[in-house]
Every structure is written in structure tokens, then in C-alpha cells.
Amino acid sequence: MSTQPTNKPNDAHDGSGSEYLAFTLGSEEYGIDILKVQEIRGYEAVTRIANAPEFIKGVINLRGIIIPVVDMRIKFNLGTPTYDQFTVVIILNIGGRIMGMVVDSVSDVTTLTPDQIKPAPEMGSAFNSDYLTGLGTVDERMLILIDIDKLMSSSEMGLMDRLAA
């Protein structure tokens, strides 16, 4: 007797691809692992925190939880941000820590197979490419894929507690 193969959910290890939330910052399109996204909210006023870096817009109260909000346009030096009806806050869950990031807009969820993802080019000292996982291509679209775990937990962001040595 033979057994029938069972259907298993898609994951990055079976070659079928991974899902990325696509969003825009300026004229570029970026992608982050959809599994890190908790929710997407319209932009609302934040409470500024004294002496915080400029890219940390402040904090918001999300159903009783105070979370920091980072404006990625300021973080990536993409000019003076404007806040309009398309501006959104992507609520992330990074290592059990909830935080938000402001982006110009969210477009869709895209599935990329490993052969659609190319390594990130070396940018030298002009740009820190440590936070890029690669460039994803779908038809004529190119997504700059960000390792959101590494970026948000970096010491320069200062959002995560340092691990005990």
C-alpha cells in the first residue's frame, strides 16, 4: 500500500517561496517578512519622547500597550516626510517586542521564490547593506528586501534590550 502525500503549509524551506509585505518609501518599494507583521494601521499622532533620535517619532498607545514608532523615511534619509491618507504604521512583532514603523504606503503581499531573490549588492560606506537580505524581482517590480529583525534590534536603533552576556 502506498500513502498519499500530505499537503503542508508553504514555508521558506520547501522551495515554494516566502511571503513579503510590500511597502513604499519615497519612490522605492521595499519588502519585509509578512510573519513579522502584526497589523497595519493608519497614521495617527504620536507622543514625542524627549532626547529620542529624530527617526523615532515617539510612542503610541496600542490597546493599552505603549509602543515606539520609527519613521523609516527619516531613518533612511529619504527627505522630509509628509503625512497623508496613504501614510501607514506597520505594527511589528520582533522577538516578542511590539513596535511600529511609519511608511509612505503599503501595496500588497508578494510571494517570492528563492530564484526570484538576488543577493544585495555591496554599497560600500555610502549605505549600510547589513540590513538587506536581497532584491526580489516579480515581473518588472523590484523589492528591496529588509531584514527587519536585524534592523530593529540593531544598537543604532536602540529599541531592543541588549542580550545578557
- Give the pLDDT score at 126: 46
- Give the pLDDT score at 128: 62
111: helix, coil or strand?
strand
CA 114 and chain centroid, separation: 19
> How far is the C-alpha of 105 from the C-alpha of 108, rounded, in Å?
10
Q: For the chain, what percent of residues have pLDDT higher than 70?
A: 81
**Positions of the chain with pLDDT under 50:** 1-13, 125-126, 162-165
Q: Where are the domains of the chain?
A: 18-152
- Give the pLDDT score at 120: 82
CATH of 18-152, one of 3.40.190.10, 1.10.1740.10, 2.40.50.180, 3.40.50.1000: 2.40.50.180
- Give the pLDDT score at 124: 52
> How far is the C-alpha of 48 from the C-alpha of 16, rounded, in Å?
43
